[in-house]
Amino acid sequence: MKVSRIKEGRLSNATKSEVRLIQMTPFFSDKVAMQKRMKENPKIYEVHEAKREGLSFAVTTIFPGKIGREFFMTRGHAHRNPDPEIYHVLSGKGLLLCEDESFQHALLEKGCVAYVPGFVRHRTVNVGTHPFIFLTTYATDAGHDYGYVETHGFSKIVVTRRGGWRVEQRVGKKI
Binding site for Zn ion (CB under 5 A): 85
Pick between residue 138 and residue 154 the one whose CB is nearest to ligand S6P. 138
Pick between residue 49 and residue 162 the one whose CB is nearest to ligand S6P. 49
Task: Indicate whether 136 belongs to the interface with ligand S6P (CB under 6 A).
Answer: yes
Amino acid at 16: K
Task: Indicate whether 72 belongs to the interface with ligand S6P (CB under 6 A).
Answer: no
Pick between residue 41 and residue 161 the one whose CB is nearest to ligand S6P. 41
The 3-state DSSP class for residue 153 equals coil
* Residue 165, φ and ψ in degrees, nearest 5: -135, 160
d(CA 42, CA 102): 32
Identify what 58 binds: ligand S6P, Zn ion, none; CB under 5 to 8 Å per kind: ligand S6P
Task: Indicate whether 47 belongs to the interface with ligand S6P (CB under 6 A).
Answer: yes
Least distance (Å) between residue 134 CB and Zn ion: 11
CB 44 within 8 A of CB 24: yes
In the list 37, 75, 152, 156, the residue contacting ligand S6P (rule: CB under 6 A) is: 75
In the chain, the N- to C-terminal Cα span, in Å, equals 47
Residue 11 DSSP label:
E
In the list 77, 89, 92, 95, the residue contacting ligand S6P (rule: CB under 6 A) is: 77
Least distance (Å) between residue 141 CB and ligand S6P: 11
Closest CA to 45 of 27, 64, 25: 64
d(CA 89, CA 117): 17
